[in-house]
Amino acid sequence: MNTLKTLFVVGLLVAFATEAGAQSPSRRKGGMRTVVAKPAGVETYQPQPTPATVPATSTPSAPIPLAIVNGQSVTSADIEPKVREELDALEGRINEARRQVVELQINTLLLESEAAKRRMSPQQLYQLEIARKVLEPTAAEIDKVIQANRSQLDESDPASIRQQVVDFLKSESEARLTDEFIKRVRVSTPVVILPPTNAATPAAVIATVGGRPITEGTIAERLKPIIYKLRLNTYQLAQQALDLTINDLLLLAEANRRNVPPEEIVRKEITEKVHAPTEAEISKFYSDNKAKIPVELAAASNQIATYLQQQEQARLEQEMSTRLRSGANIRILISEPPLPVQIISVDDDPVRGDANAPVTIVEFTDFQCPTCAGMQPLLEEVLKSYGNKVRLVVRDFPLPKHENALKAAEAANAANAQGKFVEYTALLFKHQDALDVASLKKYATEIGLNRARFDAELDGGKYLAEIKHDRDDAEIYGIDGTPAIFVNGVALREMSIEALRALIDRGLAGTNSTPKVSAK
């Protein structure tokens, strides 16, 4: 049963990752904040988080070595205190994530057990006891949330803000109803938590629910994307803070060498060189980015000027940092956490390629997502060039912000039932601006599908449960945007042919060569 898993896991992924990234260095290399950008082009999905308890405090640990600069050791004790607190809090957050994932698995089995008692599916039970009881929030409730959070909201799109608040309030209501229902069910179904052992194996039973076991392996698999995001966020914060500390050390050494205050070097090499942008520069920036700026030039002029000055200062800071580092002996002792190898289910979704291929690519896609359309030629290229060494499995992850994506996914499933998934989805990606129901049916005619069968399945919502199952799985795997691509269970982080080939070649070379997939 994935509904309950999704409700809790999404909350964990969002709440933990957000909390871990909440504190960040206040300056960039050379004196201001460094921003770590998400990969460009990926269409994002932001589910509303359910409440998740995250440790607010942590026990200070021994200083962690971070780098050696010209023979001088730099540890976590030398970086910004707020980031040091994040490092100290990491293991506590991981432990809390584990506790909540165990609780999630217990709740999932409780729901399944109760459904079996009532002779219905878990989905039917969830709909009966929880989903149908979630009410639309009133205008007064929506206004109250907006008013309480007005200082944090971008009010340029009021309709979008109201919808986000509606989604949030409904999510909170769903979480509350779920909690109340699980408490009632737990009274009649025995839950036994077994004491931890020092030599836990994947098969080790850590709890039972009505006699059904929960194993260490199940929990470890669910934790992989959560722990990875926690470690990655903490690493990025530490790396940013370390960069600032190294820059400060090198600047101080340079100031001592010149026998001048550090501020004088910054003033001469940065502050005095930053110029106010001209009207022509402001106008050019506005013209180049007009589609993304919701106001006229006169209203945006001051903000654009400030932004351009900040960009100029950042460039000069980076140039000074590069000069200072060019003659320094710097050894970084921390590294980015490796991407986890996850067990990604291929379910019963469309497959292309040899079933025994040593490399399995699983793509979660949205047929209205432009980046997904852009990835298709790359996937076609690797399928051709690698032959029977690679197979591709396509699963659904329609984003709520794409109004036609869900129906397009239903149509693709209906086409797959008639053996023409590839031909049909090629038309979907080609005509992303025309995915209304009438168009979807027209494309079915164009490729020769049985229209009576296609129309009946599309109009009747035959594949809605299958699509929901795909999206539930995707959220458990930590997916928050499309396209999401896994190669033998390892997530593709850069949507390029080079990165895709690198992961495929890694699998063929024997590293992670066994496909990390399941067919549940």
Q: Which two tokens stand for residue 260?
A: 């001048």
| Angle at CA of residue 489, ends 485 and 491, nearest 5° | 40
Q: Tell me which of 485 and 13 has the higher pLDDT.
A: 485
- The mean pLDDT value for 103-132 works out to 90
Radius of gyration of the chain from its Cα atoms, rounded to whole angstroms:
26
Q: Which two tokens stand for residue 175?
A: 């979480």
CB 492 within 8 A of CB 439: no
Query: What is the distance between the alpha carbons of residues 4 and 121, in angstroms, rounded to a whole number?
Result: 13
Lowest-pLDDT range, 21-25, 213-217, 318-322?
21-25
| Angle at CA of residue 270, ends 267 and 271, nearest 5° | 55
Q: Which residue has the tokens 């200072």?
A: 324
SS3 for 243?
helix
Q: DSSP H helical segments within 208-294, as ranges?
A: 216-258, 262-269, 279-288
pLDDT, one tens digit per residue, over 460-486 is 989 988 998 898 889 889 898 999 999
CB 91 within 8 A of CB 98: no
28 φ, ψ (degrees, to nearest 5) = -95, 170
Categorise residue 341: left if φ over 0, alpha if ψ from -120 to 50, beta otherwise: beta
pLDDT, one tens digit per residue, over 336-392 is 999 999 999 998 899 999 989 999 999 999 999 999 999 999 999 999 999 999 999
Q: What is the mean pLDDT of the chain?
A: 85
The pLDDT value given to residue 155: 67
C-alpha distance from residue 65 to each of 27, 84, 147, 335 (Å)? 21, 12, 45, 12
Q: Which of 382, 494, 478, 363 lies closest to 429 in space, CA to CA?
A: 363
Residue 55 has pLDDT above 70, yes or no: no
The pLDDT value given to residue 512: 58
DSSP tag of 27: B
Please name every residue paired with 205 in a beta bridge, in sequence order, or none if there are none. 215
Q: Which of 365, 342, 362, 344 lies closest to 352 in space, CA to CA?
A: 362
Q: Strands 205-209, 65-69: parallel, antiparallel or unpaired by DSSP? A: unpaired
**pTM (2 decimals)?**
0.76
